[in-house]
Amino acid sequence: MTTVNSNEILNALDIYQGHWERLIWIGAFFAMLFGLSRLPKKKFSFATRVLMGSGAGTVFGMAVWMVSQTEISSSSTMADNLGQWFGLVAHGYLSLFLCVVVPMIFLASIRLVIHTPAEKQVSSLTRWKKRVNTGMVAISALIAACLGLFFQVGLVPGTNGEVFQWSVAEGAGILHVIADRIPAGLGLDLVFGNVVGLFVFGIYIGIAARRMSGKYMDTVKPVFDLVDGAFSVGTSVCKTIIAYKPMGAAAIMAYLTSCHGWVILLMLVKMLLVLCLGAVLMLLVQLLLSAIGGVGPAAFFQAGKAAMVKALKTRSGAACLPEAQQALAEGLGRNREITDVVSAYAISSGMQGCGALFPSMAAVFAIGLSNMVMTPVDVVLLAVVIALMSYGITDLPGTATMAEFAAVLGVGMQEAIPGLGAMIAIDPIADVPRTLINVTGCMANGIFVERMVRK
């Protein structure tokens, strides 16, 4: 007769109990996601629902992390298994953005050309608004990148890693970087996420289509309709994915906190504080630009007070555009025909906050969290990519989110994509300072360009 050891029985019972505990935790996790999906939209705004998702996921992940800190090996194993479930959902949600951001940049670059009014001779207004717009976006991206690297926003506290090094490895110089961004074929660029190559190739397609439309509009009209139709469908898909943010934020924070515990919360608070510092520095640059255009800081704030207050409340640059344009025309006495064009252009194609400041710092955070190191070449490339993508993400919903994915892909650090998940969780909070910079930026651009054109 075979005897059964009592220890074996206890181990079997522990394993059995562990399976049931794991199933209960997983069931509760998906029940939480389902509950977030059923939150009443009329009662809670979208930003509120995202923050509720982030909070719920944080609590859930912290509970799992606390279990993992126990000395019982079975508890630690269960916590690791639960973290894998959280990571599966979180990474799955992030992959949805990857599915749309690359082809949408390609389509947006084509639309950018075919829907730009043709000018036989480029006017002074067009030249100045594009130069100032591109320059200010690049400056905003550089400020955010430098601040993020200086304060090491993505580095986990207690680690001895580094996020920046001055030396450039062999083969990673400027020529190597340029070679990697040259269009290598539509299929390859889509697969490997070469957003710069896709953007450039899309521009060429748009130029060819618009050139042919002069004499052969009947022939190329289907191409115009196909691009517009595909972009409209893609925009709808983007909105659908963005609508899942409350659940996505919950899964992301559950995963991050189950892995890092309370440390990740400190990192996010630090990142938001550095972002606010970047917004202050960028505002100083905008005030300097306005001063060169003939408007002092006092007059700037007095005229734009209504637009700035509305920006802080609504977190929508487009909603604040009428107040900003009114401030430029009536409050500062600028030529409305010029300032309306420049400010609208800056809000749509050159958002210095949502399209540059935040994506640049988000990219640095994600790269640091992924234990990757940036070099001076990467910093310059990041600013260039963001300046280009500010035109490539025109009219896309969720501009800041799309821009941060494009920024990381543009510098060739696809491995850092998982680190962008934390940015989705804090998106409603970060939206406050970056929207303010969008609005003050469109005003500063309008003041400076109006002065240059008037000369």
Continuous segment of H or E residues that includes residue 122: none
Type of residue at 88: L
Of residues 43, 420, 446, the one with CA closest to residue 245: 420
Fill in the DSSP letter of residue 331.
Answer: I
Contact at 8 Å (CB) between 325 and 343? yes
Contact at 8 Å (CB) between 149 and 271? no
Type of residue at 78: M
SS3 annotation, 174-240: HHHHHHHHCCCCHHHHHHHCCHHHHHHHHHHHHHHHHHHHCCCHHHHHHHHHHHHHHHHHHHHHHHH
Q: What ranges do the domains of the chain cover?
A: 89-454
- Tokens 């409209």 map to which residue? 232
- The CATH T-level fold of domain 89-454 is Proton glutamate symport protein (1.10.3860)
- Tokens 């320059």 map to which residue? 135
Rounded Cα distance between 62 and 253, Å, is 9
Q: Whole-prediction pTM value? A: 0.88
Token code pair at residue 117: 């009014």
Contact at 8 Å (CB) between 369 and 157? no
pLDDT at 13: 39
Q: What is the distance of C-alpha 412 from the center of its chain?
A: 16
What is the three-class DSSP state of 91?
Answer: helix
Rounded Cα distance between 397 and 243, Å, is 11
pLDDT at 16: 42
- Tokens 């400190």 map to which residue? 266
pLDDT at 76: 58
Per-residue pLDDT tens digits of the chain, which is 455 residues long: 444 454 544 444 344 445 677 788 889 999 999 999 998 888 899 999 999 999 999 999 998 888 777 655 555 566 777 888 898 999 999 999 988 998 999 998 998 888 877 666 678 888 898 899 999 999 999 999 999 999 999 888 877 778 887 766 544 567 777 777 888 888 888 888 888 899 999 999 999 998 888 888 888 899 999 999 999 999 999 999 999 999 999 999 999 998 888 999 999 999 999 999 999 999 999 999 999 998 999 999 999 999 999 998 888 888 899 999 999 998 888 989 899 999 998 888 778 988 899 999 999 999 988 888 888 888 998 999 998 888 777 678 888 888 899 999 988 888 889 889 999 999 999 999 999 999 999 999 999 999 998 76
Backbone angles phi, psi at 316, to 5 degrees: -140, 110
Of residues 331, 387, 422, the one with CA closest to residue 57: 422
pLDDT at 233: 94
Token code pair at residue 254: 């559950």
Fill in the DSSP letter of residue 357.
Answer: I
Rounded Cα distance between 21 and 48, Å, is 31
